[in-house]
Chains A and B, each alone.
Chain A
Amino acid sequence: MSSGASRRGAWLAWVVQALLVLAVVAGAAWVVNHALEVLRSRGVRSGFDFLTEPAGFSISEGWLDFDASQPFWRAFLAGLVNTVRASVPAAIFSVVLGTLIGIGRLAPHVLLRGICTAYVELLRNVPLLVQLLMLAFAIANLLPDPTEPVRLLPGVWLSKGGLSVPWPASGEGGWWPAHFEWPEKGDFGVSGGAALSPEYVTIVAGLSFYSAAFVAEIVRAGILSVSQGQVLAGQAMGFSPVQQLRIVILPQALRVIVPSLTNQLLSLVKNSSLAVAVGYPELVSVANTTIGSNGRAFECIAIIMAVYLLLSLLISFGMNRYNARVALRGWR
């Protein structure tokens, strides 16, 4: 674009750019200054000093125990840990389910194709928030009471109280899990194993089902991008359909799939912020509670944004490393 720019043009370009920088900096400074002034005039304290004060609210679940006497920074940390605790299983489930459905959409069986297509079209075209609220309502109202749970699989119980699944339990003195602890049904509900709260089940299941529809489309496009000659060559080698998929198609399809999948994982992590609407205490929910209790909106939103930007960077970095491994090297 800069071709043909005369010396006078170049000068002008630098002057305009310098003015632009000045305008942006001045604008930002005015906005921050004005906001602080308004805050001060309303008697609202500002700054991040509140992070060391006791939070005054507790967080019901998560890997990090948190009670009301602990400081805010630990609440945010517990919220972040809860975000990860919901996003990672949801990412795994959605990639597995989405891959199966994506392959199913190309299966040589009209019924299977139809069911997979219906799944994608149904879930993709309804807002995730509506699906989450619907799931939350269904779990809270339509499932049986915790005293009469439904057995989904051996050792997997579902009720209004949530989901119980087998979980590795560490044996005497060792950190290595010695055996799986199986949930047992007693008179007062299910005990043992891992008890997952209804909110946690809602957000993980909702995110997984929704994202799987998008992953399926990515996988399908990836498979379709492999040239037909490759498939024919695989058939000529006497590969079975499963071998064709595993040896010929998927390795090449991954080159197309991975960049789009990265985008999808990024949006999955950002979508986990919707958990605030169904009462799962992740980062946004903690921030929202904090704003409600001390009014530090600017600081809390800044924390949310910074943390998500960091998470996005980490995922991009990891997935780009993976992409570099699956991408074609050499010519082309």
Chain B
Amino acid sequence: MRNVAQGPIAWRSELWGSPLRALATVLLLALLAWGGFHAVEWGVVHAVFRPDAEACRAVQHGACWGVVAEKWRPMLFGRFPYEEQWRPAVAVVVLSAVTVLSAWPRSWRWWLAPLWAAALLLFVLLMRGGVAGLAFVPTSRWGGLPLTIGLAVVGLALAFPMALLLALGRRSGWPVVRTLSASYIELVRGVPLISVLFMASFLLPLLWPAGWQPDVLVRVLAGLALFVAAYLAEIIRGGLQAVPRGQTEVAMALGFGRWPVQRDIVLPQALRLVVPALTNSVVGTLKDTSLVTVVGLFELTGALGLALGGDPTWRPFYLEGYLFIAAVYWVLCFGLSRYSVWLERRLGEGAR
């Protein structure tokens, strides 16, 4: 069952080792060949790659990648003013560069926090404009990939400190704090994200003074952060539980106060343990940002509807559009999950 052997020599015996295996091999190869043939025929051989709607309609059994060639800019940037779209592009590159830099454990130093603050500020400045000669773009016109990545990054950044407090609170010696933290975590984890987003978009406006409508982006971000915090809190709590009690006791015996013990001894070890789990949570959050389309924000998923829904010429080729944005999500999420596996191995080596 297990003992999965590796390498081409083992594969040969796996593939042809017994009559049953040989039969399975033949059947699976036939299935792959059949599927592969149809996929290549549809996606490559008969496909139209030019942004030519006539040619797309003429083709019978082929993909129309022309829709991507024609609409990639509204798909990736939503309703952001066309001639200003270099700004969200640069904003995405900035956030990606900082993300890639912080993915390297060697750069986990004090300067990472100010670097992130600067990157987020630059992101907002580029998107919003209104300074340094950049035209002002209201948040209602932000969209596409920058919004997807921005929501995930800022949502996580807001959720993390809250999650830290909730996790510590759930382990607190004070029963009131413990109960409040646990109730919050269980309450939020028990409801769908969509209901939290509905609440943020329908109810938060009621709390603001009449006449001043808070930005829908801000409301949704608040909802997302409140939701993600509950999940992160449980991951962090897992890490806190995994730090041996002895560590706390030794530190207390050495005269450390209660807070310094948590801050300097327990938390650094706990967070190190849960970094891979946190990375998985980042993947989840990135996917979850697609739900904001339900409350009327045009991130990657919403931008696709915007780009194709209002255009009868290209509307029949939605499937190709979905495949395109699915590929974008896939590259981001698969990259992150591979990173998480790599990191787990690397941190594991360090701990051994």
Contact = CB atoms under 8 A, between A and B. Distances in A.
Interface of A: 1-5, 13, 16-18, 20-21, 24, 31, 34-35, 38-39, 41-42, 106, 108-113, 115, 121-122, 124-131, 133-134, 137-138, 141-142, 223-224, 228, 231, 241, 244-245, 249, 266, 270-271, 273-274, 276-277, 284, 287-288, 291, 297-298, 301, 304-305, 308-309, 312-313
A122 B283 CA distance: 14
Contacts of B287: 125-128
B280 to A, nearest CB: 10
Given A113-B4, A130-B325, A304-B191, 7 more contacts: A3-B252, A18-B176, A20-B176, A141-B319, A266-B190, A274-B194, A291-B198
Nearest to B323: A134
B21 A109 contact: yes
24 contacts: A1-B173, A3-B252, A4-B252, A17-B174, A18-B176, A108-B3, A110-B14, A111-B32, A125-B287, A126-B330, A129-B290, A134-B319, A134-B322, A134-B323, A137-B319, A137-B322, A271-B192, A277-B293, A298-B203, A298-B206, A308-B190, A309-B187, A312-B189, A312-B190
Contacts of A284: 192, 194-195, 198
Interface string B180-192: 1000000101111
Contacts of A113: 4
Interface of B: 1-5, 11, 14-15, 21, 24-25, 28-29, 32, 171-177, 180, 187, 189-195, 198-199, 202-203, 206-207, 210, 252, 258, 283, 287-288, 290-291, 293-294, 301, 316, 318-319, 322-323, 325-326, 329-330, 333-334, 337
B299 to A, nearest CB: 10
A125 B319 contact: no
A231 B1 contact: yes
A273 B14 contact: no
B330 A276 contact: no
Contacts of A270: 191-193
A142 B192 CA distance: 31
B333 A308 contact: no
Contacts of B325: 130
Contact of A17 (B14, B176, B190, B337): B176
A41 B210 CA distance: 9
B194 A1 contact: no
A305 B207 contact: no
A241 B1 contact: yes
A106 B4 contact: yes
Contact of A125 (B180, B290, B329): B329
Contact of A129 (B174, B198, B258, B293): B293
Nearest to B206: A35
Contact of B199 (A16, A17, A277, A301): A301
Q: Does more than half of chain A's interface fall in helix, strand or loop, or is it mixed?
A: helix
A275 to B, nearest CB: 10
A220 to B, nearest CB: 10
A109 to B, nearest CB: 5
A42 B171 CA distance: 43
A41 B175 CA distance: 40
B195 A304 contact: yes
B318 A308 contact: no
B301 A20 contact: no
Contacts of B32: 111, 115
Q: Which 3 A-B pairs have the closest CB atoms?
A: A297-B202, A1-B173, A125-B333
